[in-house]
Chains A and B, each alone.
Chain A
Amino acid sequence: MGLFTDHYYEIAAVVLFGIGFMGLLLHNNLIKKIVGLNIMDTAVYLLLAQRGMVFGRVAPILGDNLTPSAEQYINPIPAGLVLTGIVVSVSVSAFSLALTHRLYKKYHTLNLDEILLKSKKEKENKEKAVTH
């Protein structure tokens, strides 16, 4: 169990990732799928942020310290990576929500199975109209 106490943040991040992935797979509702994707994103931020942490060191804001040494501050690189991740996640969420909005306007449902069935039916009808 000593191993678990050394890696609790990573294990939390990984479990959160799995929960988000399960939501993505199991839900038929498109909004819930997007929420699952966001949970997966959050897990990735947690994994990245915990990688930068070092016990006994502080965040890399220098303040009055004009001769910084690497032994005083935690790793700043994961912070930059998480920033990139957040921006991309926001953009992807907004884009997929907009697509969902359009789908709802067309098919009046958020259920992916129903949307697929309706679009299939529509396609068949169109093909029938062309052949006639």
Chain B
Amino acid sequence: MSEKHESHETSETEYKGSKNPFVAWVNADPTPEEAPWTEEKLEALRAGETYVREEKPVITEEERARRFNKVYKPLAVVLCCAFIALLVFVCLYTPPFGATDVPTNNEVSFKYIEDGLADTGATNVVAGMILDYRAFDTLGESSVLFTAVMSVMILLRKDRDGSLVNDPAEDAALAKEEKISVQHRDVILRTMAGIISPFVILFGIYVVLNGHISPGGGFSGGAIIGAGLILISQGFGSAKTKKFFNFKVFTIITSCSLLSYAALKCYSFYTGSHHIETGIPHGIPGAILSSGFILPLNIFVGLIVACTMFGFYSLFTKGEI
């Protein structure tokens, strides 16, 4: 008995010895294993008043957080208001909205508008700009999307053995929910998804394919196709979408699109710096098969974006593609 008593006292001296009040607080906190207060513990409590005194940092810790918030929140509001006021003040010195002779309308944009059609063959100047003049930048954007979906996959994808991320109870709940939703499918959602989703995907394909002659392009069209896929998955269940869009298909489409994009556009590194004519036919302006490589590049970008959007959706809902 006395030995046990001593051991408790040594641990108490350790509390006192630790300079960090947080350690003392953590040690004082009754965890579930310690929760039933043993006789020895109570004795130790009665014997050494220091034990009770050590609890005080808990209050000060919370008090400090409360005091910090008391100062921090008004300070943040004041700071933001001052920030907005400063930016509004700066705005008053910028050129007026919609003016003609502003510094941003300079020879760069004139070049894109006036020579864009001759250089790229695209009647949509923005498409010609981002997929021909600045195609390297767009490759970077596609790579950013690819990297984002990869990192989300690292964070959220369930392991094959289910050891790291999975909570068995949560998995069981999810499986039960899935079973219920398969048996009692929402009639309105299912019917409307069946009617609307083909048109949504068709419209997405239209936007991608007409990216060089009308507003739109790979990014917007890809997002529309991704929305259509999400609608199908919502209406008919993930098992149906898995039949034509699983992890293998996702990997193949995404990586092949990215690699093909890079391969198609790599000629620019050689010809662009040497001012060599590429010999790529630009076709009749306004025709669907025109403007060189912009159409295939738009298709690749659209595929990447559609896969990324659907990938995000299914990773966040089920933790798998």
A residues engaging B (CB < 8 A)? Answer: 3-4, 6-11, 14-15, 17-18, 21-22, 25-26, 50-55, 59-64, 66, 68-70, 72-73, 75-80, 83-84, 86-88, 90-92, 94-95, 97-99, 101-102, 105, 113, 120-121, 124-125, 128
Residue of B nearest to A85 (CB): B141
CA distance A121 to B97 in the complex (A): 54
Stretch from B41-49, B119-127, B228-236, B255-263 forming part of the interface with A: B119-127
B87 at the binding interface (Cβ < 8 Å): yes
- Are A99's CB and B155's CB within 8 A? yes
- Are A60's CB and B124's CB within 8 A? yes
- Are A102's CB and B155's CB within 8 A? yes
- Are A54's CB and B99's CB within 8 A? yes
Using known A-B contacts A25-B80, A83-B130, determine if residue A18 contacts B87 with beta carbons closer than 8 Å.
Answer: yes
- Are A7's CB and B96's CB within 8 A? yes
- Give the Cβ gap from A94 to chain B, nearest Cβ, in Å: 5
Identify which of B26, B77, B165 contacts A125 (C-beta below 8 A): B26
- Are B130's CB and A21's CB within 8 A? no
Residue of A nearest to B151 (CB): A95
B104 at the binding interface (Cβ < 8 Å): yes
B residues engaging A (CB < 8 A)? Answer: 20, 22-23, 26-27, 65, 73, 76-77, 79-81, 83-84, 87-88, 91-92, 94, 96-100, 102, 104-105, 108-110, 112-114, 116-117, 123-126, 129-130, 134, 137, 141, 144-145, 147-149, 151-152, 155-156, 165, 167, 214-215, 219, 285-286, 312, 315-316
- Give the Cβ gap from B227 to chain A, nearest Cβ, in Å: 13
CA distance A92 to B141 in the complex (A): 12
- Give the Cβ gap from A26 to chain B, nearest Cβ, in Å: 6
CA distance A58 to B77 in the complex (A): 40
CA distance A105 to B167 in the complex (A): 9
- Give the Cβ gap from A106 to chain B, nearest Cβ, in Å: 10
CA distance A10 to B117 in the complex (A): 32
- Are B94's CB and A62's CB within 8 A? no
Using known A-B contacts A14-B91, A79-B126, determine if residue A70 contacts B109 with beta carbons closer than 8 Å.
Answer: yes
Identify which of B20, B116, B155 contacts A101 (C-beta below 8 A): B155
Identify which of A8, A26, A83, A98 contacts B151 (C-beta below 8 A): A98
Q: Which residues of A contact B144 (CB under 8 A)?
A: 87-88, 91
- Are B84's CB and A62's CB within 8 A? no
Number of A-B contacts (CB under 8 A): 167
Q: Which residues of B contact A61 (CB under 8 A)?
A: 123-125, 214-215
CA distance A85 to B279 in the complex (A): 33
29 A–B contact pairs at CB < 8 A?
A3-B92, A7-B92, A10-B97, A11-B88, A14-B84, A17-B84, A18-B81, A21-B83, A53-B98, A55-B98, A60-B125, A61-B215, A64-B286, A66-B285, A69-B114, A70-B109, A70-B110, A70-B113, A76-B109, A76-B126, A80-B130, A87-B219, A88-B141, A98-B316, A102-B156, A121-B26, A124-B22, A125-B26, A128-B27
- Are B97's CB and A53's CB within 8 A? yes
Residue of A nearest to B11 (CB): A132
Q: Which residues of B contact A102 (CB under 8 A)?
A: 155-156, 165
Q: Which residues of B contact A91 (CB under 8 A)?
A: 144-145, 147-148
Using known A-B contacts A14-B84, A53-B97, determine if residue A80 contacts B152 with beta carbons closer than 8 Å.
Answer: no
CA distance A14 to B99 in the complex (A): 19
Residue of A nearest to B90 (CB): A14
Residue of A nearest to B111 (CB): A70
Q: Which residues of A contact B105 (CB under 8 A)?
A: 54, 70, 75
Residue of B nearest to A21 (CB): B80
CA distance A26 to B81 in the complex (A): 13
Identify which of B20, B65, B81, B129 contacts A76 (C-beta below 8 A): B129
- Are B104's CB and A51's CB within 8 A? yes
CA distance A51 to B97 in the complex (A): 7
- Are A66's CB and B167's CB within 8 A? no
Q: Which residues of B contact A72 (CB under 8 A)?
A: 113
Identify which of B23, B77, B98 contacts A124 (C-beta below 8 A): B23
Using known A-B contacts A22-B77, A70-B109, A128-B23, determine if residue A54 contacts B98 with beta carbons closer than 8 Å.
Answer: yes
CA distance A17 to B222 in the complex (A): 28
- Give the Cβ gap from B74 to chain A, nearest Cβ, in Å: 10
